[in-house]
Amino acid sequence: MTHLFKLDNVIQDYIWGSKTSIASLFEIENTENAHQAEIWMGAHPNGCSKRDNDKALLSELIKAQPEAFLGQRTTEQYGELPYLLKVLAAAKPLSIQVHPEKSRAAAGFENENQAGIPVTAGNRNYKDPNHKPELVYALTPYLAMNGFRVFEEIISLFEQASVPSLETELAALKANPESSQLKAFFEAVMSLEGEARDTALAELLENIDSKGQTELAKQAFAMVVEFHAEYPTDIGLFAPLMLNLIELQPGEAMFLFAETPHAYLRGTGMEIMANSDNVLRAGLTPKFIDVPELIDNTKFEPIPFDTLKTAPVVEGYRTCFPVPVEDFKIDILTSTDQAASLNTESGEILFCLTGNVTVKTGQESVVLKSGESVFVPFAAGEYQFEGEGQLVRAYN
């Protein structure tokens, strides 16, 4: 079983998805004018890829011959494909979220099972026992929030926003700018409810167009105004004052750590993540927010803006973005007319970003056009690629 095969992937039609971006970037049509939010490449039960020729589920193929598909190391460590590769095309902001650490996810999953909360219930936090580190690689300008701003920025932005309702909490943070106080401040904001929330939001929004003195404040407040149009009463309107606002340019990437609040706001990118669905929401959502559980799973350490991007390591035709987890790896491969060769490190997925690229093993070859993908089983051993274009390589 060393055959490589093209994948038939699920395109998720979430309401925030762009109707045009995927169709314009790739040779993928959108005849029904659907929201094309995410292309999923992997073996996740909520959108499992199929072998293109016979529509066999990748998850079933892996289950039947795990070591041939994944290799011994990955099979022993994970027992399944440990990553999910996506194209994500956001026309509107996604919810602000935090992903739990692995040990907490395992404990939380077990606790909710014990408590008899169905996995599909609205108040269920942990859908599986896994963590969900992520890396995003921008294909277009890609706007996101990631991690707490440094203390001085948070303080300055709230001062410029002038929100009397949070005066006491802000004074405490200013007097003692450290993690425990940021936690208290964030908790106070997230716990605002009913009239108190309405008042605080009204204070934030009052004259917001003219309130920002610094460039940073102008950017943050412009984001608040954008969010307000979508989510007029959402506590997430405060998020741009607390979280780094970053726009990746095409070809840039960043890692999203566990226990770090983040949100994707606009743009199209590749996303690779551990095979998990564990999300604790923190705003910009009509869905359930479990504030105590969120606080328990959040690390209140600022991430300085200039450390957010992941520095690429370029080795000839291969650009990799090192990540601090074992669940996944991602390379961008530049293919030319001169065939290049790689050894499989696990079960691998290659997604064609641009051009036409031929992928070959000993026995067979597959031509990928942009938007197409192929699964290379571990047992293929060595594979070659050639033809002008770019591939995203996912493996672990």
What is the set of active-site residues?
281
Tokens encoding 98: 């935090």
Give every CB contact of residue 109 below 8 A, 6+ residues apart in sequence. 126, 127, 128, 129, 278
Contact 305, 152 (CB under 8 A): no
Contact 50, 7 (CB under 8 A): yes
Fill in the amino acid letter for 91.
A
- Amino acid code (one letter) for 141: P
Structure tokens belonging to residue 126: 């942990």
The C-alpha atoms of residue 135 and residue 321 are separated, in whole angstroms, by 9
Q: How far is CA 269 from the centre of its chain?
A: 9
Q: Which residue has the tokens 């009397």?
A: 164
Token readout for 382 is 């060595």
DSSP-assigned beta bridge partners for residue 184: none
